[in-house]
Amino acid sequence: MRGKSLLPGLFDCHIHLMGRYEDDELTLTHRPFSYAFYATPANLRTTLALGITTVRDAGGADLGLKRAVEDGVIPGPRMQIAVTMLSQTGGHNDPWLPSGGTSVEWGVGYPGFPMVGATGSTAFGPRCARSSARVRT
């Protein structure tokens, strides 16, 4: 290995494998429901190509995706999944607006992945955040 370097696999501790970062909100809201399922294998390949061998998906990937990778159905990094985002009150997963109304949903929930603002996804203070995080592990 003279003149070469060996780098262990990298960890990405906050990723959303089911999303595409170059898309704006208008594109996301008009995209067909199933699109993310077909685009995700490319995200998984890119993640591996960058040397990232373990990820913590912070919202979006469900148990089916994790198991498909584990079973070798599609190549991808080892995964820890959150399924839904955990947000503080007033954060990006809290659907309530200061006006008292609610925000438009980002996407459509499906079995295995509740919608944004799903029950238990907004933490009202540190104690609630710890409790919600424990439920997700």
CB-count burial class (<10 Å; 0-12, 13-18, 19+) for 14 = exposed
**What digits encode the pLDDT tens for the residues 16-69?**
898 776 667 677 777 787 888 899 999 999 999 999 999 999 888 889 999 999
Q: How many Å apart are CA 66 and CA 131, to the nearest integer?
A: 24
**What digits encode the pLDDT tens for the residues 110-136?**
665 655 555 557 788 889 888 877 776
Q: Which domains does the chain have, with CATH numbers?
A: 9-83 (3.30.110.90), 85-137 (no CATH)
Phi and psi at residue 59, to the nearest 5°: 150, 120
| pTM of this prediction exceeds 0.75 | no
